[in-house]
Amino acid sequence: MKKVYGSAAEALDGVLADGMLIASGGFGLCGIPELLLQAIKENGAKNLTFASNNAGVDDFGIGILLQTKQVKKMISSYVGENAEFMRQYLSGELELEFNPQGTLAERMRAGGCGIPGFYTKTGVGTVIAEGKEVKSFNGEDYILEEGIVADLSIVKAWKADETGNLIFRKTARNFNPPAAMCGKVCVAEVEEIVPKGSLDPDMIHLPGIYVHRIIQGDHEKRIEQRTTRKREEA
């Protein structure tokens, strides 16, 4: 099965369509599939729902799809740093489903493992619990959350081999693995593709069985918020 493609546009050909639910990896601007997001913008697919920890910033990440109004709904845990997101949500142009961060990660992981739902204490007694089943375990209430199964997953990894085994670096190993797992089709962009057998099996973070298509590319790697201090005098 061929998994390596020449470009983001090629890798999305035949799998991207209007109205899809897309799971997107990354945390802030770290480990986001920037090349695939740009290709989605250029493709013009619309009425998309994104399950992602956040929506990037105004001119980077999912933010570029908000600018072109290709996103109709976000399933997220954090939506700061994005003025266009705020404008569209407050004006009623964009739907928003808030999830606690751990709940969102587990919903993705559960979907990828074939688990339709799970109970969690997080959100009990808050607006998060509205309309959800509540069940008591050992005298404490838990709410039922459903696993996410996306039509398409897009993720960013550090290295891949030709069979799709992935290694992530540092903070990029956060939402990327569960996002990759929950997609019916997973497309990964990586910094380097190595021959099969080159990766230490004990270092692989996501088995290739979850990954259907791979591209290699150059990445901008933006810093979301730069914090500095004055240099101390000698």
| pLDDT level of residue 230 (50, 70, 90 thresholds) | confident
What integer pLDDT is reported at residue 99 of this predicted model? 94
Give CA–CA dist 70/19, Å, rounded: 9
Under 8 Å between Cβ of 38 and 7 = no
Round to whole Å and give the CA distance between 136 and 124.
11
- Considering the chain, what is the average pLDDT of its residues? 94
**Total structural domains in the chain?**
1
> Is residue 38 a contact partner of residue 16, using CB atoms and an 8 Å limit?
no
H or E stretch at 192: strand 186-194
pLDDT tops 70 at residue 126: yes
3-state class (DSSP) for residue 129: helix
Range of the domain at 76: 8-116+152-216
In a domain, 139, yes or no: no
Considering the domain boundaries, does residue 2 fall inside one? no
Q: Do the bridges between strand 48-51 and strand 71-76 make them parallel or antiparallel, or are there none, so unpaired?
A: parallel
Domain annotation covers residue 138: no
Of the listed ranges 6-20, 71-85, 111-125, 213-227, the one predicted with least confidence? 213-227
Q: Please choose, from the candidates 154, 158, 40, the residue with its C-alpha nearest in 3D space to the C-alpha of residue 108.
A: 154
Q: What is the CATH number of the domain that holds 37?
A: 3.40.1080.10
What's the predicted TM-score (pTM) here? 0.92
User: Does residue 55 contact residue 79 with C-beta atoms inside 8 Å?
Assistant: yes
Q: Which two tokens stand for residue 179?
A: 């996002």
Q: What is the mean pLDDT of residues 55-79?
A: 92
Per-residue confidence (pLDDT) for residue 234, from 0 to 100 = 62
Q: Is residue 224, in this structure, part of any structural domain at all?
A: no
- DSSP single-letter state for residue 127: G
Residue 128 lies in a domain: no
- Within-domain flag for 147: no
Residue 143 lies in a domain: no
Give the residue from 70, 124, 129, 76 showing the smallest Cα distance to 99. 76
Torsion, Cα 204 165 201 157, to 10 degrees, reads -30
